Chains A and B, each alone.
Chain A
Amino acid sequence: MENNWKKQNPIRKTKERIFLIFIFFCAIMAIIPLISVMGYVFLQGVSAINFDFFTKLPTPVGEQGGGMGNAIIGTIILTGIAAFVGLPIGVFGGIWLAQFGDGKRGFFIRYSADVLSSIPTIVIGIFAYVLIVLMMKRFSAIAGGFALGIIMIPTVIRTTEEMIKMVPRTLYEAGLALGIPEWKVTMRIVFRTAWSGIFTGIMLSIARIGGETAPLIFTAFNSPYWSFKVDQPMASMTVTIYNYAISPFSDWHAKAWAGSLVLISIILAVTLIVRKFSKRVRYG
């Protein structure tokens, strides 16, 4: 059967060839910048990584040692606050859009999420500044986390909605047929099925905010000390990296690259670990 149609339909065979070549080409084109950027970061930064990097505070130019311990913790805390703000809105909002959002209200909400995703992150930082920093009369991790949370929302809400909509109706109907209340069907069956895809959306948005600098400069500010209080300025890896990268000094540059390497590695580690524990469920 295989040989027959190939002899009879050279056009289809050619199309298939072109398709496969194109797909391979795409995969390679996506890998090349990845290797280039990661390789560049690795080469520039690996020499400055040592145990001190994770445990010590930043030192001024020229002084040996020192690290980004406070910034690493700060980034984790800020990401936590952002997730606290962005995930409930994104996930529950996405569920509403998927289940109940076919009308005008759904259209308007979906549209708003898309527009929100194109606002430059510095403008969102300015918004958080006006709303929180000016009110509290000081920079704080809350303001920074809030800004990051807003940035997360469009990706999470869109992904959640799309993944839930991909779940076949048969699953819903089976659940309902068993007499389970609708909301339980949604959460326990449908949501669980869509979880892998939703999780990708969440990790994508966390990766995105992990690399954001501009919205933090006027909200969380940054700090050279250990900082855990959320109503005070908080150190972050991205702002510290930025400050180092724009300086003229090579030892600070090396630390900036090292910081980037650590940042990417942390996100890589978290993604891989959590993926391992959440199995992909077949849709049927």
Chain B
Amino acid sequence: MREKAIHEINKGQNIGDVSFKLITFLFALTVPLLLLSIIFVLVKQSWLSIYTFGFNFVVNTTWDPLMDNYGALPFIYGTLVSSFLALLIAVPLGLGCAIYLSEVSQSKFKEYLAVMVELLAAIPSVIYGLWGIFVLGPWLAGSVQPFLKMTLGFLPIFQGSPSGLSLMSGGVILAIMILPTITAISREVIQAVPHNLRESAMALGATKWETVKLAVFGPAMSGIIGAIILGLGRALGETMAVTMIIGNRPQISASLFAPSYTLASVIANEFAEAVSDMNLSVLIELALILLLITLFVNGLARIFIWKTIGKNKIR
């Protein structure tokens, strides 16, 4: 039996409650309205491309603005792999950091530390890009990639010559950029879990890890998932920093050391100088494809959560 929501128990009849419900609903409604308007504008502007290329666009791998021959597949690959890599790195790190800041750390300075991590979100993307070119890229190419090649080089993802401009660089920089979102929101949610649950666990002799596992993760899971989805959203749509470090080569390669290209990057790169109406239309269609990917990935995430955690916790 699902627990009854507050408003079902206390059916507010007075004018205050009714208007409050209405006003907040109207605000909430603007969100899907905005989304639908954006989709409408995108479809309108990309119609030329959709009409001309049809479904082939999604599986074609050529990108030739001069000959007006376009294909989206390399970008879809680049976007999915870089975002997945970013989540792989940022979710454990972000959660770990959040737990550190809320459960483990005794230091007085943790409040300031938390703010500093949030500050990572304020750094302009172009600065991340520049730092990536001059600091992160060379470090990855000089230390990390050769190490991976030496130890795990039998895996196709770690083959090829090390390069600072690579899919790996794109994934890592995205991880750093979404870390603040995941950390900050997870931390807030974890800290908001009522202490009585924790205290009960500790009274029963649970270790810190067991307390977190039993008492904190359950109630906080919904918020943590929310934080991860927001992080994923940022990763899928990030343009500036990624395009400066990913190599911008529309190709599909198994290796993480190879240059790649994402949907958001090519849109940012070519939009300002789009050579023809078709070029422009194609770029907008790529934006539409990114939107569809997002819809799909979010849908998958929701089904996964629904099945594993239960209908009550996530609505």
Determine whether A and B are in direct contact in the complex, meaning some CB atoms lie less than 8 angstroms apart: yes
The interface of chain A, by Cβ under 8 A from chain B, is 1, 5, 12-13, 15-16, 19-20, 22-27, 29-31, 33-34, 36-38, 40-41, 88-89, 92-97, 99-102, 106-109, 111-124, 126-127, 130-131, 150, 153-155, 157-159, 161-163, 165-169, 172, 176, 181-184, 186, 194, 196-197, 200-201, 203-204, 207-208, 210-214, 217, 238, 241-242, 245-246, 257, 260, 263-264, 267-268, 271-272, 275, 280, 282-284
What is the CA–CA distance of A123 and B27 in the complex, to the nearest angstrom? 23
Q: Which chain B residue has the least Cβ–Cβ distance from A6?
A: B207
Q: Which of the 9-residue segments B63-71, B92-100, B140-148 touches chain A?
A: B92-100
Q: Which residues from chain B contact A284 at a C-beta distance below 8 Å?
A: 194-196
B201 sits at the interface (CB 8 A): no
State the CA gap A94–B27 with chains docked (Å): 9
- B27, B42, B122, B125: which has the most chain A beta carbons within 10 Å? B122
7 nearest A-B residue pairs (beta carbon): A26-B96, A117-B233, A183-B20, A207-B122, A118-B233, A96-B24, A19-B209
Q: How many interface residues does B have (CB within 8 Å)? A: 110
Contact for A118 among B29, B95, B232, CB less than 8 A: B232
CB pair A12 B96 closer than 8 Å = no
Given contacts A99-B6, A115-B291, A183-B12, contact A23 B104 (CB under 8 A): yes
A122 near B271 with CB under 8 A, answer yes
Q: Is the CB of A158 within 8 A of B226?
A: yes
* Chain B window 123-167, contacts with chain A (Cβ cutoff 8 Å), 1 for yes, 0 for no: 111111011001100000000000000000000000000000000
Interface membership of B25, Cβ < 8 A: yes
Are B188 and A114 in contact, CB atoms less than 8 angstroms apart?
no
Question: Do B100 and A213 have beta carbons less than 8 Å apart?
Answer: no
B277 at the interface (CB under 8 A from A): no
Residue of A nearest to B229 (CB): A114
The minimal Cβ–Cβ distance linking B2 to chain A, given in whole angstroms, is 9
A residues less than 8 Å from B194 (CB atoms)? 168, 283-284
Q: Check A214 against B290 for contact (C-beta < 8 Å).
A: no
A-B contact pairs, 27 of them (CB 8 A): A5-B205, A13-B207, A16-B207, A20-B104, A22-B96, A33-B176, A97-B28, A115-B294, A118-B234, A118-B294, A121-B237, A123-B237, A124-B38, A126-B284, A162-B222, A162-B226, A165-B223, A176-B6, A181-B17, A201-B188, A203-B118, A207-B180, A213-B240, A217-B272, A238-B124, A245-B127, A264-B119
Contact in complex: B115, A272 (CB < 8 Å): yes
Instruction: Show the binding face of B for A, using Cβ within 8 Å.
Output: 5-7, 10, 12, 14, 16-17, 20-21, 23-25, 27-32, 34-35, 37-38, 41-42, 45, 92-97, 99-101, 104-105, 111-113, 115-128, 130-131, 134-135, 176, 179-181, 183-185, 188-189, 191-196, 205, 207-210, 212, 219-220, 222-223, 226, 229-230, 232-234, 236-240, 263-264, 267-268, 271-272, 284, 287, 290-291, 294-295, 298-299, 302, 315
